[in-house]
Structure 1
């Protein structure tokens, strides 16, 4: 597995005294990829020797120059304590996609770090030596790179930037954001729930976590576009345990109403809501309602109390028979437990990031991909790249999550 990343002719890149890892071992399980450092001082960087042909003595015709490989900088926070595991999962996904389609592409792994004052400069140096960049990964890092400006190479950002309230951040023309945004899922759920429940009001539930607030707000704005009635309720919670008295009060208030529930919650919290409110009110949610991976389904608890709950999920987590899902190996180590659902999603994001990067490098205009994270639509022009992901609809049946079409 190391040979793909330590390809002949690929040099380690050095940024301000930091040596950037050259190779990776993708046999790790829940932690993702273990990267191996290769120490090299800038002044010890080997020179690239170009072979020359002496036409005066050679009887053979000169060789035809071969097209130069596409150089991709994989810009991830692999030294960050906070983001290392996520970075390793994305990196393993990119590696898996490169293993399947390696021709004409070189991958250079670059440590972005997680210090805001360093990220923009590290990105600048990495981009100078690449044709295209995959990364950054964290919301703050994407914002730092976008605000610094001067992005001259196509950049596939892996999440939406962090923006302060009451401010806006115009994305650079060369930056395409393809992250698995919870807000995008919430907007898709709003359209879905609205279509299927034309006469019902909506009640949005969240427990105050930052991602839950973002999901709740995105659903609210999308639902309100149709001038439909909506109510947002913040549920008091200690860890993942919701306040039972609040849920019982909510049940009384909704007893005579025809409502649809959007649960901007995790799976355990949604189960508590379902246990109290029952199936009378259709319940919808994001992929966070599915904590189980395909690899871990055999030993996972069957959540039959969630039967009928509807949610969105990426094909990688939902459908092993999907053509693209079946084409890639899953990160696994028999000695370790399966990766978490969130790490599996990041692995899948890495696969699609590589495939999008190849397409972006090859063309300007519009294209679509049947990805392992959904149906991807990309538009590239001189002003701004546009990206849209359509995630699959799913439902709980017999305690597990299946594609909605499979229920019919």
Structure 2
């Protein structure tokens, strides 16, 4: 069965002319009978459980922004092999196919820049259902030296609890913690997925350096990823010795805009309590709506979800002066074009009139760093650091359970646009 769903890449030498989208290549991906390009162009309903925010409603990808992004296969190059990597992705998934394609494209882009080491990587179809994920993982860990994946929170949780982790496994998303219990990761498992919770905790640390006084207000809605971000910030803020109050705002029936009643109540609380700042576990549209009502006098801080555009889009987008002064954290791929790692890898090209997507760009960047981490593990490194396109990465596999840390870049709205800053001020 694996032979039917696997595409082999020989990645030992430079993959010159690597093209990432169907419009630029003649040979598109076709897995297990899938027509070339099928299942890759997402709609709003196609990205419920991915990474980063990686849970339902975490990624805001529409047909307009994602378009027909597809990712073709480069010609194989034969060479000696020192490590075999299985890239375990749900390429045929209706819900995760677009995200999987973006991660794989970034993985291949990074592999194309590595010409000194012979590493063979194969894309292995994982499927969506947990039995399929577990079966694919079991086969992959038997045949390969390293497994990169899976892509869903439920899949990572199932593998972590299965007792089947016998090979180095680099999971591409966070573990599912809906049951409020803490899963102890297997010794050979490392989780490098994008994390909205880690961003919230990092922002709490940046705010701690300002030594604020008073009780902060944390804003969220019933949306799951926003609640997770709010909770992570509150817990870290308490650990640092500060107080906060959580305020959950209602949203419109369409789930996009904040309700008027909640905003009026918030405005009254700000006038009465005069909090030192607001932590916005909201998205960019909701935070802009908030700012238009309360003004710019009170500082607002948040996560990468306050940055809805790519660097390319910001160069031509209309400024959003209502957001000036709002601070956030995001990855170098989204903020710093002259970052050494960002400059080293190709940007994904878009066919025709397709608009870029910030969330797909983040997943593409995750694929780049996933290959770089896997390469170091393949070379036998147990403790190392990478100045990655998703942030500064610190990996320590010498511990009983693998430790991973990602530090992202501070940013601020200035002149109506998001720009990187050296440190939160």
1:20 equivalent in alignment to 2:6: yes
**CA separation of 1:407 and 1:374: change in aligned 2, threshold 3 A:** closer
TM-score norm. by structure 2 comes to 0.81
1:275-314 matched pairs, under 5 angstroms: 275-314=292-331
**Do the aligned partners of 1:197 and 1:260 also contact (CA within 8 Å) in 2?**
no
Max radius of gyration: which structure? 1
Asked if 1:113 is matched to 2:119, the reply is: no
Q: Which residue number corresponds to residue 378 of structure 2?
A: 361
CA contact (8 A) 2:411 2:424 kept: no
Distance (Å, rounded) in 1 between the aligned partners of 2:234 and 2:331: 22
**Contact 2:103/2:365, CA 8 A, preserved across alignment:** yes
Cα 1:262–1:352 change in 2 (3 A) is same
SS in 2 for 1:156: strand
Note the C-alpha offset of 1:334. 4.4
Partners of 1:315 and 1:322 within 8 A in 2 = yes
2:383, 2:262 → 1: CA distance?
Answer: 49
Residue 92 of structure 1 aligns to a residue whose secondary structure is helix
Q: Structure 1 residue 255: deviation in Å?
A: 1.1
Cα deviation 1:247-280 (Å, max 9, x = unaligned)? 1221122114132100001000000111112112
Judge conservation of contact 2:31–2:92 (CA < 8 Å) in 1.
no
Alignment partners' CA distance in 1, 2:271 and 2:211 = 17
- SS of residue paired to 1:241: coil
Taking structure 1 as reference, are residues 379 and 305 closer, same or farther at Cα in structure 2, changes over 3 Å only?
A: same
1:25–1:35 CA contact under 8 A, matched in 2: no
SS at match of 2:311: coil
- Give distance in 1, aligned partners of 2:424 and 2:410: 11
| Whole-Å separation in 2 of the counterparts to 1:183 and 1:69 | 36
Quickly say closer, same or farther: Cα 1:279–1:341, change in 2 above 3 A. Answer: same
Displacement, 1:67? 6.0
Structure 2 equivalent of residue 80 of structure 1 = 93
Deviates more, 1:385-394 or 1:288-297: 288-297
SS in 2 for 1:79: coil
Task: Give runs of aligned pairs for residues 130-209 of structure 1, distance below 5 A.
Answer: 130-209=144-223
Give the drift of 1:297.
Answer: 2.2
CA distance in 1 between counterparts of 2:211 and 2:219 reads 17
Structure 1 336/109 Cα, relative in aligned 2: closer, same or farther at 3 Å? Answer: farther
Change (3 A) 1:320 1:119: same
Distance 1:291 1:377 in 2: 27
Instruction: Could you tell me which runs of 5 or more consecutive residues in structure 1 were left unpaired when the two chains were aligned.
Output: 1-13, 40-65
Change in CA separation of 1:268 and 1:351 when aligned onto 2, cut-off 3 Å:
same
| Shift in alpha-carbon separation, 1:389–1:34, aligned structure 2, 3 A | farther
For the aligned residues, what is the CA RMSD?
2.1
Note the C-alpha offset of 1:166: 3.6
Residue equivalent to 2:291: 274
Residue in structure 1 matched with residue 265 of structure 2 by the alignment: 249
The CA distance in 1 between the partners of 2:390 and 2:306, in whole Å, is 16
CA contact (8 A) 1:261 1:283 kept: yes
> Hey, what's the Cα distance between the residues in 1 that align with 2:292 and 2:198?
27
Give the structure with the larger strand fraction: 1
